[in-house]
């Protein structure tokens, strides 16, 4: 939580001093942007420590106009790195019925240069993956649904659990924990109209499936 004073005042974007903190990662001030300054120092130290492998950076934001959860990622000259960066959002799309890969985009817009995702994507090496996870303020649509469904605290929590489940898929640990999931997680699984209890297959909308079919993508 990098904007505690702003959120305390009811702001969702600006700090107490009126700064949009996710535009000041390049040169944060210890006086004006103390949380960014501290976290940036920590990440730089971790990146310089040969004993530490910093593999993922994901900042989480609410989005005021778009539906569903989706991600922003970076664009690189190395095509293989670009393809590897798309793996995590694709896996998350399989696990979370409210996550949209068609809304996910990879860019290097100049106006986003001061974001954590952009700055750290340039600072860290090609073994690190930096994303912004955006989630709608208000609603999501699942595959086959006719109308948006309002987000609740519980459905936000379900998306968070599906992000955690995606890490298990990414590191191929799922089989080791499948039968030992805590009871409270087993009883609160995300249900999909077409998928299994974890929402497999429910996160892709028609546009996602058609695009992947034309590109020969297999899951």
pLDDT tens column, 157-183: 999 999 999 999 999 876 665 555 555
| Domain co-membership, 91 together with 159 | yes
pLDDT for 131: 97
| Domain co-membership, 45 together with 65 | no
User: What total of structural domains would you count in the chain?
Assistant: 2
| Domain co-membership, 40 together with 95 | no
Angstrom distance (rounded) from CA 93 to CA 87 = 10
Is the pLDDT at 141 greater than 60, yes or no?
A: yes
Chosen domain end from 37, 52, 67: 52
Is the pLDDT at 55 greater than 80, yes or no?
A: yes
| Domain co-membership, 46 together with 60 | no
Residues of the domain holding 36: 1-52
pLDDT for 101: 95
| Domain co-membership, 109 together with 208 | yes
Give the confidence band of 201 by pLDDT, cuts at 50, 70, 90.
very low
| Domain co-membership, 68 together with 104 | yes
- What residues are annotated to the active site? 134
| Domain co-membership, 8 together with 75 | no
Give the confidence band of 113 by pLDDT, cuts at 50, 70, 90.
confident
| Domain co-membership, 99 together with 152 | yes
3-state DSSP assignment of residue 129: strand
pLDDT for 218: 45
For residues 96 and 175, the model is more confident at 96
- What's the pTM? 0.77
| Domain co-membership, 45 together with 62 | no
Write out the DSSP string of 3-56: -HHHHHTT-SSB-TTS-BGGG-SSS--TTTSHHHHHHHHHHHHHHH-TT----E
| Domain co-membership, 12 together with 120 | no
| Domain co-membership, 118 together with 35 | no
Give the confidence band of 144 by pLDDT, cuts at 50, 70, 90.
confident
| Domain co-membership, 83 together with 142 | yes
Query: How far does Cα 62 stand from its chain's mean position?
Result: 11
Chosen domain end from 52, 73, 92: 52
pLDDT for 20: 94
Share of the chain above pLDDT 70, in %: 79
Angstrom distance (rounded) from CA 133 to CA 117 = 10
pLDDT digits (tens, 9 = 90+) for 118-136: 999 999 988 899 999 999 9
- What's the mean per-residue pLDDT of the chain? 83
pLDDT, average across residues 75-82: 88
- Using only the alpha carbons of the chain, give its radius of gyration: 18
Kindly list the distances between the CA atom of residue 37 and the CA atoms of 68, 138, 153, in Å, as whole numbers in the listed order: 31, 31, 30
Is the pLDDT at 200 greater than 70, yes or no?
A: no
């Amino acid at each position: 939580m990098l904007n505690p004073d702003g959120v305390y005042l009811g702001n969702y974007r600006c700090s107490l001093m009126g700064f949009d903190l996710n535009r000041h990662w390049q040169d944060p001030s210890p006086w004006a942007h103390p949380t960014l300054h501290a976290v940036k120092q920590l990440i730089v130290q971790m990146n310089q420590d040969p004993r530490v492998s910093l593999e993922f950076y994901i900042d989480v934001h609410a989005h005021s106009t778009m539906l569903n959860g989706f991600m922003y990622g970076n664009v690189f000259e190395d095509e293989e790195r670009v393809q590897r960066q798309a793996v995590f959002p694709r896996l998350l799309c399989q696990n979370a019925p409210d996550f949209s890969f068609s809304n996910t985009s990879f860019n290097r817009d100049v106006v986003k240069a001061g974001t954590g995702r952009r700055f750290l994507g340039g600072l860290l090496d090609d073994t690190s993956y930096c994303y912004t996870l955006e989630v709608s303020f208000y609603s999501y649509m699942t595959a086959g649904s006719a109308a948006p469904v309002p987000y609740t605290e519980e459905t936000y929590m379900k998306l968070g659990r599906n992000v955690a489940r995606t890490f298990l898929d990414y590191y191929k640990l799922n089989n080791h924990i499948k039968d030992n999931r805590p009871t409270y997680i087993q009883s609160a699984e995300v249900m999909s109209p077409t998928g299994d209890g974890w929402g497999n297959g429910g996160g892709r909308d028609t546009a996602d499936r058609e695009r992947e079919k034309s590109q020969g993508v297999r899951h």
